[in-house]
């Protein structure tokens, strides 16, 4: 390969890496804006002001506010998926999801809106098939017949909406740490009862 081809490929690789880094930084800045001011306050102009960038650059990454919201929702899904499948202990994963839900109420609202909209659950929760298969294996031969897809839906929804409902409406006087601890204990009890708790 001639040297000129090789040297032209290197700047392109750097440019792609820079594009990805900027793209990720814009998503994270959007998350901060939503956390501080709510979903309604997020716009391309507000994001550009927050990061000190011109709007054209932000539009280069996100063609519209809707595209930006989709990227933020996808980021939220990645965080929640990480909490359900990370290499950490089950206790740490339960804590991570509960704390993420408590720390990001507006993101969770956005995620729930998209989660209940028509479409394939795998687009919002990529580990769905793995979750259903693992639950089916564990439930096999357990005597009582269980609709595994409904069971998994209940488990997933409870983990994602439960801490916020409990914190806001059931026991608003509790600290986040107390809510996380209570949810961890009860989720572990349920998982143990269902034979899904890996000690």
In this structure, are 134 and 94 located in the same domain? yes
Same domain, 198 and 130: yes
Q: Are residues 120 and 175 in the same domain?
A: yes
| Top-confidence residue, 58 or 82 | 58
- Find the length of the chain: 199
Confidence (pTM) = 0.71
Give the C-alpha separation, 137 to 186, whole Å: 22
Same structural domain, 87 and 155? yes
Percentage of the chain surpassing pLDDT 70?
A: 83
Residue 106 lies in a domain: yes
SS3 of the chain: the string is CCHHHHHHHHHHHHHHHHHHHHHHHHHHHHHHHHHHHCHHHCCHHHHHHHHCCCHHHHHHHCCCHHHHHHHHHHHHHHHHHHHHHCCCCHHHHHHHHHHHHHHCHHHHHHHHHHHHCCCCHHHHCCCHHHHHHHHHHHHCCCCCCCCHHHHHHHHHHHHHHHHHHHHHHHCCCCCHHHHHHHHHHHHHHHHHHCCCCCC
pLDDT band at 176 (very low <50, low <70, confident <90, very high): very high
If one counts the domains in the chain, the total is 2
Give the range among 37-51, 58-72, 84-98, 129-143 with minimum mean pLDDT: 129-143
CATH code for position 149: 1.10.357
49 occurs within a structural domain: yes
- Give yes or no: residues 99 and 180 share one domain: yes
Confidence class for position 8, pLDDT limits 50, 70, 90: very low
108 shares a domain with 53: no
pLDDT for the residue numbered 56? 92
Same domain, 110 and 184: yes
- In a domain, residue 68? The reply is no
Residues 38 and 86 grouped into a single domain = no
More confident residue, 67 or 83: 67
Does residue 56 share a domain with residue 115? Answer: no
Most confident stretch, 15-24, 79-88, 160-169: 160-169
Kindly state whether residues 5 and 87 are assigned to the same domain. no
CATH of residue 59's domain is: 1.10.10
Band the pLDDT of 86: cuts 50, 70, 90. Answer: low
pLDDT confidence of residue 93: 84
Q: Which of 74, 73, 96, 72 is nearest to 83 (CA)?
A: 96
Q: Are residues 167 and 86 in the same domain?
A: yes
pLDDT-derived band at 180, boundaries 50, 70, 90:
very high
Does residue 58 fall inside a structural domain? yes
For residue 116, tell me if it sits in a domain: yes
Domain, as residue range, for 17: 1-63
Same domain, 92 and 50: no
Joined tokens for residue 176: 């986040």
Q: Please, what is the average pLDDT of the chain?
A: 81
């Amino acid at each position: 390969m001639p040297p000129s081809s090789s040297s032209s490929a290197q700047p392109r690789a750097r440019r792609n890496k820079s594009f990805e880094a900027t793209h990720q930084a814009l998503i994270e800045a959007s998350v901060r804006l939503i956390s501080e001011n709510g979903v309604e306050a997020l716009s391309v102009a507000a994001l550009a002001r927050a990061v000190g960038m011109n709007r054209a650059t932000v539009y280069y990454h996100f063609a519209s506010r809707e595209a930006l919201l989709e990227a933020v929702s996808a980021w939220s899904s990645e965080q929640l998926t990480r909490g359900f499948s990370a290499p950490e202990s089950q206790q740490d994963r339960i804590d991570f999801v509960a704390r993420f839900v408590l720390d990001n109420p507006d993101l969770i609202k956005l995620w729930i809106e998209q989660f209940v909209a028509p479409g394939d659950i795998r687009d919002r929760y990529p580990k769905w098939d793995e979750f259903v298969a693992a639950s089916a294996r564990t439930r096999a031969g357990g005597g009582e017949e269980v609709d595994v897809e409904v069971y998994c839906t209940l488990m997933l929804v409870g983990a994602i909406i439960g801490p916020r409902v409990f914190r806001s409406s059931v026991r608003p006087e509790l600290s986040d740490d107390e809510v996380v601890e209570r949810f961890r204990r009860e989720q572990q009890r349920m998982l143990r009862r269902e034979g899904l708790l890996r000690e």
